[in-house]
Amino acid sequence: METLWQRCSKAGDYAERKVGDWLDSFGYKVAKLNEDIAANRGKYDISAEATDGLKLTFEVKHDQRVHETGNYVVETHEGCMETGLSITEADYWVFFSEAMAYPPFCVVSPSAIEHYIWRERLMPRQISGATNAVGHLIHSTDMWPLGGYWGVSDSPDYFFQLARLEASNNGRRL
């Protein structure tokens, strides 16, 4: 019998493949992070490199219940250990769902998520279905203004152009 961890791990691997395929289809050189979870805990899942050498990193989230609840889970702690948003090194988070009416990729910067949590004064809560996870729930309709939904035919060039603009602006977020 498949455990909850095994089921979630399979779903996460599937989502990472879909996001990697999306980036690859637009000519970005995609690399999945090393499978050594302990060594790479919290960094990111995928890196994508443009032809000019600019590299962006992506953390992929596959919330399998978003189509039921309407909410994306943003984890921050597992027990007393910081996880997820608290330790991410990714440039963007990609929330993946094929079950929603929206396009499958919701791409958001971690800083936009943090700002939203702060602005809305969201309190952390126990995440149902998870062993010891704590985090925040953000409704799927609230994700749109934070980043936006992208379909498989929508180019991810926007994120690379934004990074180039920020780099030319002395690293300040636009």
Residue closest to 27 by CA, chosen among 148, 155, 139: 155
- What would the pLDDT profile of 35-64 be if each residue is shown by its tens digit? 544 555 558 899 999 999 999 999 999 888
Residues in the chain: 174
Cα 35 to Cα 157: distance, rounded to the nearest angstrom: 27
On whether the pTM is more than 0.75, the answer is: yes
Query: What number is the average pLDDT over the span 1-10?
Result: 80
Burial 54-72 (b: 16+ CB within 10 A, else e): eebbbbbbbbbebeeeebb
d(CA 10, CA 64): 11
Work out how many domains the chain is built from and give that number. Answer: 1
* pLDDT confidence bin for 8, thresholds 50/70/90: confident
**CB of 123 within 8 A of CB of 13?**
no
**Up-side HSE of residue 46: CA atoms within 13 Å toward CB?**
25
Residue 173 lies in a domain: no
- 108 is in which domain, residue-wise? 4-166
Does residue 65 have a pLDDT over 90? no
Cβ partners under 8 Å of residue 67, min gap 6: 97, 99, 100
Chain mean pLDDT for the chain:
85
pLDDT over 70 at 112, yes or no: yes
User: Is there a domain that residue 61 lies in?
Assistant: yes
Q: What residues have CB less than 8 Å from 158, skipping those under 6 apart?
A: none
| Among 33-37, 85-89, 150-154, the least confident range | 33-37
- The domain that holds 104 is classified in CATH as 3.40.1350.10
Is residue 172 assigned to a domain?
no
Burial zone of 111 (CB within 10 Å; 0-12 exposed, 13-18 middle, 19+ buried): exposed
Tell me what pLDDT residue 36 has.
46
Q: Both tokens of residue 21?
A: 């395929």
Higher pLDDT, 169 or 101: 169
171 domain residue, yes or no = no
